[in-house]
Amino acid sequence: MTPTLTARPPELREALYALSIAKDIPDAALLDDVVRRFPQFGGELTNFAIAIAIDALHGDAVVEAAEAALDPNVLSPAVSRAMSRFQNRLHAVSEPTRLPAATDRSVSADAINPFASLSREDFRGFARRLDASSVFVAKLRDRQIEPDTLTPGFRKRVADDLHAPLDVVVAHFSAAQGGATGPQFYKADGKPNNGGRQTFEEAVRSSGLSEAQQCALLAL
Amino acid sequence: MARKLQKIGDDGPLVRPDAVEAQIDAALTLTPQPLRARLAITDPRDADHLRSETLVHLVRHGRRTGDQGLISLALPVLLARCEANLIVKVPDGQLPEAATVREDILGEFSELFASDGTGKNPDELDFYECKFNRAFRFFRIDVVRRETGRLKHVAQMPEPDEDGEPEPHDEVFARVSEAFRSPAMQDGDVFRSELHDAILELPPDERNAVILVHVLGYQEESDDPGEETAATRCDCTGRTIRNRLTRAATKLVRFKEDL
Whether A188 has a pLDDT exceeding 50, the answer reads: no
pLDDT of residue B157: 54
Confidence category of residue A44, pLDDT binned at 50, 70, 90: very high
In chain A, the residue whose alpha carbon lies closest to the alpha carbon of B201 is: A54
> Closest Cα to residue A53, out of B208, B10, B109?
B208
Section A74-86 average pLDDT: 92
The 8-class DSSP code of residue B9 comes to E
pLDDT of residue A104: 42
Subunit contact A64:B118, Cβ cutoff 8 A: no
Section A79-92 average pLDDT: 92
Of A53, A56, A63, the CB nearest to B88: A63
Report yes or no: B184 at the A interface, CB cutoff 8 Å. Answer: yes
Question: What proportion of chain A, given as a percentage, has pLDDT over 90?
Answer: 27
DSSP code string of B58-75: HHHHHHHHT-HHHHHHHH
3-state secondary structure string across chain A: CCCCCCCCCHHHHHHHHHHHHHCCCCCHHHHHHHHHHCHHHHHHHHHHHHHHHHHHCCCCHHHHHHHHCCCCCCCCHHHHHHHHHHHHHHHHHHCCCCCCCCCCCCCCCCCCCCCCCCCHHHHHHHHHHHCCCHHHHHHHHCCCECHHHCCHHHHHHHHHHHCCCHHHHHHHHHCCCCCCCCHHHCCCCCCCCCCCCECHHHHHHCCCCCHHHHHHHHCC
In chain A, the residue whose alpha carbon lies closest to the alpha carbon of B98 is: A134
Task: Tell me the shortest Cα–Cα distance from B153 to chain A, in angstroms.
Answer: 9
Task: Find the range with the poorest average confidence among A83-92, A171-180, A183-192, B34-43.
Answer: A183-192
pLDDT of residue A53: 94
Query: Could you say which residues from 51 to 110 on chain B have a Cβ atom under 8 Å away from some Cβ of chain A?
Result: 63, 68-69, 71-73, 75-77, 79-81, 83-85, 87-89, 97, 100, 102-104, 106-110
Distances (CA, A) of A193 to A196, A197, A209, B2: 8, 10, 28, 38
Q: How many Cβ atoms are within 10 Å of B120's Cβ, its own excluded?
A: 10
**Is the CATH number of domain B170-256 1.10.10.10?**
yes
Counted across chains A and B, CB pairs separated by less than 8 A come out at 220
Task: Tell me the shortest Cα–Cα distance from A119 to chain B, in angstroms.
Answer: 9
CATH 1.10.10.10 domain extents, chain B: 170-256
Report yes or no: A3 at the B interface, CB cutoff 8 Å. Answer: yes
Contact predicate A78/B80, CB 8 Å: no
Contact predicate A102/A167, CB 8 Å: yes
In chain A, the residue whose alpha carbon lies closest to the alpha carbon of B111 is: A86
The 8-class DSSP code of residue B118 comes to -
> Closest Cα to residue A166, out of A118, A94, A105?
A105
Residues of chain B with C-beta less than 8 angstroms from the C-beta of A81: 103, 106-107
Section A2-20 average pLDDT: 74
Confidence category of residue A80, pLDDT binned at 50, 70, 90: very high
Residue type, B216: L
Confidence category of residue A198, pLDDT binned at 50, 70, 90: confident
| Prediction pTM value | 0.70
DSSP code string of B88-115: HHS-BTTBTTHHHHHHHHHHHHHHHHHT
pLDDT of residue A61: 81
Residues of chain B with C-beta less than 8 angstroms from the C-beta of A92: 114
Q: What angle do CA A122, A115, A95 make, to 5 degrees?
A: 115
Which of B88, B118, B181 to probe by mutation at the A interface, max A CB count within 10 Å? B88
Contacts of B78 (CB under 8 A, 6+ apart): B52, B55, B56, B59
Q: What angle do CA A162, A167, A170 make, to 5 degrees?
A: 80
Whether A143 has a pLDDT exceeding 70, the answer reads: yes
Contact predicate B162/B243, CB 8 Å: yes
Subunit contact B216:A56, Cβ cutoff 8 A: no
Query: Could you say which residues from 188 to 217 on chain A have a Cβ atom under 8 Å away from some Cβ of chain B?
Result: none
> Closest Cα to residue B95, out of B134, B152, B57, B44?
B152
State the 10-residue block means of pLDDT for chain B, 259 residues long.
Answer: 85 91 96 95 94 98 93 96 95 86 95 92 94 96 86 56 63 79 62 85 94 95 93 95 93 72
Query: Could you say which residues from 152 to 171 on chain B have a Cβ atom under 8 Å away from some Cβ of chain A?
Result: none
Subunit contact A28:B216, Cβ cutoff 8 A: yes
Q: How many Cβ atoms are within 10 Å of B200's Cβ, its own excluded?
A: 11
pLDDT of residue A210: 83
Task: Find the range with the poorest average confidence among A102-116, A163-177, B83-97.
Answer: A102-116
Which of A11, A17, A121 to probe by mutation at the B interface, max B CB count within 10 Å? A17
pLDDT of residue B204: 93
pLDDT of residue A99: 45
Distances (CA, A) of B167 to A124, B213, B239, B244, B257: 48, 15, 11, 11, 19
Report yes or no: B199 at the A interface, CB cutoff 8 Å. Answer: yes
Residues of chain A with C-beta less than 8 angstroms from the C-beta of B102: 78
pLDDT of residue B31: 94
The torsion angle over the Cα atoms of residues B198, B200, B204 and B207, rounded to 10 degrees, is 60
ipTM: 0.87
Confidence category of residue A185, pLDDT binned at 50, 70, 90: very low
Whether A101 has a pLDDT exceeding 50, the answer reads: no
Confidence category of residue A4, pLDDT binned at 50, 70, 90: very low
pLDDT of residue B119: 86
Contact predicate B54/B128, CB 8 Å: no
Task: Tell me the shortest Cα–Cα distance from B3 to chain A, in angstroms.
Answer: 20
Which of B50, B51, B65, B137 to probe by mutation at the A interface, max A CB count within 10 Å? B137
Residue type, B139: F
pLDDT of residue A205: 86
Residues of chain B with C-beta less than 8 angstroms from the C-beta of A37: 10
A56 CB burial (10 A radius; 0-12, 13-18, 19+)? buried
